[in-house]
Amino acid sequence: MLANNVANVDTNAYKRDMVVTGPFLEVLISRMNDGSMGQAPQPFKGVRYENTGERLRIETDGTYFIIDTPRGKSFSASAELAVNEEGYLITSSGNYILGNNGRIQAWSMEGLHVDGSGTVWANGRMVDTLKMYSGSKVIGTLNGGAAVNEVVTAFVQGNFKETGSPTDFAIKGEGFFVLEVDGEERYTRDGSLIIDAEGFLTSKDGHRVIGERGEIWIGGSSMEVLGNGEIYVEGDYVDTLRLAAFEDPKQAVKVGDNLYRAREDAQMKQPDGEILQGFLESSNVNAVKEMVNMMTAFRAYETNQRVVMAFDEMIGKAVNEVGKV
């Protein structure tokens, strides 16, 4: 991903990708072979809570709350909770805290509290009881470090560079140009266009630009494009460049060649972008920062590699030397 960002530093209107990381599951650590068979579980010391109006912080000693994550069940002795759009209690990572009846639906943070026994109350009404785990040999939790949750695209606008070419365009604000690619609509911020041999306005890869009336025929004449996308050829109105915008930028998915497609559930909206003729948008990649990130990742890889080699040497000694004693 970092290498791809660096490779596209000079690509018109390229948008850098970023990795969003999160922790692995918090798994329980237990004692083994310590002669404590039959030992009673740690005593339950109650649940403490604090409602700030925006967050509900809960914590306990001797037991662990159970959290439902995409990777499975996770355990924690404390959590900061909020209510999502569907009314469920979720952690700061967006995962669901579990009750005895499953996911807990509290609907609102107002009047929400948890008593010492772990019962969840909302405006005086009992909602559920927090599901907790306590084992006789559990001594804590452990996670395996950071995991990649998703790769997201940063749609921050790049700088504008003036070219003076009548077929170069930049969008100031939100929006994408619409292209026809193999019979389907694709979207791009790259406004480096040409007029093909048949007189149609196309991308440099040969994909025709779509206007409000369909494919845009310019002919061999010069054209003028206004800020609202209206196209005039020798003073006569021809068409209007069609712009597309998404309610949620994550609904635009990269498909290669600086193009995007819309997700099946994508919600479109009216863009407010202004078209600048004779300009191109630069990529939003900061080459220096990306190179620093690459060096950091490389050094972390080297460090982990040395750790693995050290463990390998220790195992080798245990097998070849300790076994001889």
Within-domain flag for 26: no
Same-domain status, 170 and 271:
yes
Instruction: State residue 146's pLDDT score.
Output: 64
Within-domain flag for 83: yes
Instruction: State residue 170's pLDDT score.
Output: 97
- Asked whether the beta carbons of 110 and 125 are under 8 A apart, the reply is no
Nearest residue to 175 via CA among 260, 277, 278, 285 = 260
Query: Looking at the predicted structure, is the pLDDT value of residue 184 above 90?
Result: yes
Same-domain status, 186 and 277:
yes
Sorted by sequence, the CB contacts under 8 Å of residue 261 that are 6+ apart come out as 184, 185, 186, 187, 252, 253, 255
Same-domain status, 274 and 171:
yes
Within-domain flag for 24: no
Within-domain flag for 6: no
Query: Looking at the predicted structure, is the pLDDT value of residue 35 above 60?
Result: no
**Percent of the chain clearing pLDDT 70 (strictly above):** 87
Within-domain flag for 22: no
Within-domain flag for 13: no
The CA-atom distances, in angstroms, between 291 and each of 14, 132, 206, 287 are 17, 45, 33, 6
Computed over every residue of the chain, the mean pLDDT equals 86
Region 24-51: what's the mean pLDDT? Answer: 65
Token pair for 165: 């070419």
Instruction: State residue 137's pLDDT score.
Output: 65
Per-residue pLDDT band for 49 (boundaries 50, 70, 90) equals confident
Within-domain flag for 202: yes
Region 73-95: what's the mean pLDDT? Answer: 88
Q: Which is more confident, 139 or 196?
A: 196
H helix count then E strand count, the chain:
2, 33
Instruction: State residue 226's pLDDT score.
Output: 96
- Asked whether the beta carbons of 98 and 90 are under 8 A apart, the reply is no
Same-domain status, 179 and 263:
yes
Instruction: State residue 220's pLDDT score.
Output: 76
Per-residue pLDDT band for 165 (boundaries 50, 70, 90) equals very high
Region 168-181: what's the mean pLDDT? Answer: 96
Instruction: State residue 21's pLDDT score.
Output: 67
Model-level pTM?
A: 0.64
Domain count, the chain: 3
Give the integer Cα–Cα distance in Å for 196 and 217: 10
Query: Looking at the predicted structure, is the pLDDT value of residue 83 above 60?
Result: yes
Sorted by sequence, the CB contacts under 8 Å of residue 251 that are 6+ apart come out as 262, 263, 265, 266, 267
Instruction: State residue 314's pLDDT score.
Output: 84
Query: Looking at the predicted structure, is the pLDDT value of residue 121 above 70?
Result: yes
Condensed to tens digits (0 to 9), the pLDDT of residues 284-305 reads: 998 888 888 888 888 888 888 8
Instruction: State residue 322's pLDDT score.
Output: 62
Nearest residue to 278 via CA among 191, 149, 181, 216 = 191
Supply the DSSP string of 146-197, one letter for each residue. EEEEEEEE------EEE---TTEEEEESS-EEEEEETTEEEEES-EEEEE-T
Structural domain containing residue 98: 46-138
Instruction: State residue 138's pLDDT score.
Output: 65
Query: Looking at the predicted structure, is the pLDDT value of residue 6 above 90?
Result: no
Same-domain status, 217 and 300:
no
